[in-house]
Amino acid sequence: MSNKPILVTGGAGYIGSHTALMLAEAGERVIVLDNLSTGFADAVTQGELIIGDVADKALVSRILHEHDIDTVMHFAAHTIVPESVADPLKYYGNNTCGTRNLLECCARAGVKHFVFSSTAAVYGIPHDGIAREDSPTAPINPYGTSKLMSEWMLRDLSAAGEMRHVILRYFNVAGSDPQGRIGQSTAKATLLVKVACEAAVGKRAHVSIFGTDYPTPDGTGVRDYIHVSDLAAAHLKALEHLRAGGESDTFNVGYGHGLSVREVLDAVERLNGKPLDIREEPRRPGDPPSLVAAADRIRATLGWTPRHDDLAFIVRTSLEWERAPRY
């Protein structure tokens, strides 16, 4: 453990807040930078929250210098695929240009370690539905492209200087903190488990299946769903790797098996004890038929061992978060 704090950008958002909490529980000092456009101040339960944007170079530079930051975990991004298709410049502006500005500040401040929140969307549509770290990167939506461009910038910056990095390519994140302290509160969320659990507790009138004619066993999209706490733990493993002198690297973070939309909805109905109002809709632009991680490398190289590879557990923690009273 370092005595220097870690800057967590987007740490008031869904994944960032879970990671910041886990870092604090491990004894790390955490500084969260978030503009609260989609995050929530009350999700920052540990450390200091600074309200601001990663694109604000003056602010970022001041934070890095005043707090003597040597490690940055970068989560701040727009993440909704259909929105990226409809408004691509929003994604290139925030995700790509914002990351570029952050990296410039990090390079000037001498930041040593950088952990980047990327996505399986960089792969596009793998020919067999399985994405490996060396699979071709061919994103089919601006969200994936904006993240891939950020990966390239990070790769080139690390090659030109002393900063080392880990890129984590997330698959479909779901669930909430098992102790119910924080969860996913994103307004108008599009992640399936979140949407289905909101519908289950009456926060949405129905849940839609977008596409029932995919070349999959039941015709609906297949994804690799990973519990947010396991994903947060992968960031701590990435940090350990970099602090131990590990080389810059890229890892998939998933369980290595897929579940269809119908399988997920069946689990929500079963655990909630009543049927959902399910609507069948046309396919959405930018959605691949199947996307599952080959995730052996992160286990072998970082020693990451997931604890919550269980759909029932993922859904249960999501339902508990949705049922919890909010004040």
Task: Domains for the chain: give ranges and CATH numbers.
Answer: 6-174+225-253 (3.40.50.720), 192-223+256-323 (3.90.25.10)
Coil, strand or helix: which one is 293? Answer: strand
- Token pair listed for 203: 């926060």
Q: Which of 14, 92, 123, 143 is catalytic?
A: 143
Residue whose entry in the numeric block shows the structure tokens 């960031």: 235
Q: What is the pLDDT of residue 1?
A: 58
Per-run averaged pLDDT (10 residues), the chain, 327 residues: 88 96 97 95 94 96 97 95 92 96 97 97 93 96 96 97 97 96 86 96 96 96 97 98 98 97 98 97 88 96 97 98 80
Whole-prediction pTM value?
0.95
Q: What is the pLDDT of residue 327?
A: 46
106: alpha, beta or left? (left if phi > 0; alpha if psi -120 to 50) = alpha
Distance in angstroms (rounded) separating the CA atoms of residues 176 and 55:
29
Q: At 89, give phi and psi (nearest 5°).
A: -65, -30
Distance in angstroms (rounded) separating the CA atoms of residues 304 and 292:
18
Distance in angstroms (rounded) separating the CA atoms of residues 24 and 194:
25
Q: What is the pLDDT of residue 189?
A: 83
- Under 8 Å between Cβ of 103 and 60: no
Verify whether residue 143 is a known catalytic residue: yes
- Under 8 Å between Cβ of 84 and 146: yes
Q: At 123, give phi and psi (nearest 5°).
A: -85, -20
Summarize pLDDT for 204-230 with one digit per residue, the tens: 999 999 999 999 999 999 999 999 999
Q: What is the pLDDT of residue 3?
A: 79
- Under 8 Å between Cβ of 131 and 139: no
In one-letter notation, the amino acid at residue 25 is E
Q: What is the pLDDT of residue 113?
A: 98
Distance in angstroms (rounded) separating the CA atoms of residues 130 and 258:
9
Q: What is the pLDDT of residue 284?
A: 86
